[in-house]
Structure 1
């Protein structure tokens, strides 16, 4: 069995990136993978200062250990000003090669305007830099206020199918690389 950890890169209470991550997590679990979500809204993380000592912040150790023990990752981010959220970038900056190298990673972005790949492309560069493997399947949800119902369920069948394909690609790739 593979273990996948999801990171939600939004601090909003009604976060669409958290909803998208929940959809992906459900699909990953349905394929038999162990899934854990680390919601950055609930962690006390400092701004990364480039050093190694974050002993005053136990959640940094929790973040690093949880990701280190995972076989794969799902990174879900809102797109702010054409890129990844500062919250997610900071969480990634608090980790290093020890935690991120070799992780099979799936990427999700949500934005209020038309779907594009800016945040996803930036995340690909970041994850490649730390020697992670980003799967080709990715999800960009534009006009997110139209994508989910009030219970967080997807309204569009084609988008739902993309989540199925995304989850299958992530789990199968992770299984292959773990073997």
Structure 2
């Protein structure tokens, strides 16, 4: 079975990035994959200092082990100042080729304003650098404040369809590239 880990790079209590991750995870699970979400709001992660070990932060080992055992990733980032959130970048920096190489990754960005692909492109560069595979589908959710209902559902059918295509691509490509059923 395909194992996917989802990480959203936002620490806000009512984060649209976390909502988007939950929706994407449901769609991936509906296709038969196992999904584990690592909620960074509930983890104690230090700033990366370039070291390999962080014994005083057991959540770093948990992060590394969980991602290391996964076949693929869903990475969701709010776009701050035209790029990926510092929270998500730091989380990725706490890992290495050991955890990320060969993983299949799909990317979603969440913006308060108009859609663009800056954070998505940054994620592609970062993951390519550690030899992960990026799926061609990506989703940028602009004007996030109106993209979801108060219950955390998608309010736009076209966006829901894009997330369906994203989920299918992630599961299908992970099966092919990782050789799992």
Q: TM-score range by the shorter chain?
A: over 0.9
Aligned to 1:170: 170
Q: Equivalent residues in 2 for 1:52-63 (5 A)?
A: 52-63=52-63
Q: Equivalent residues in 2 for 1:55-134 (5 A)?
A: 55-134=55-134
How far 1:70 sits from its partner (Å)?
0.1
Structure 1 residue runs of 4+, over 2 Å off?
none
Aligned to 2:156: 156
Q: In structure 2, what is the Cα distance between the partners aligned to 1:65 and 1:112?
A: 33
> What's the TM-score once normalised by structure 2's chain length?
0.98
Q: In structure 2, what is the Cα distance between the partners aligned to 1:27 and 1:141?
A: 16
How far 1:163 sits from its partner (Å)?
0.5
SS at match of 1:50: coil
Q: In structure 1, what is the Cα distance between the partners aligned to 2:131 and 2:113?
A: 31
Count residues in correspondence. 179
Alpha-carbon deviations, 1:12-45, whole Å to 9, x = none?
0000000000000000000000000001111100
SS at match of 1:49: coil
Unaligned runs of 5+ in 2: none
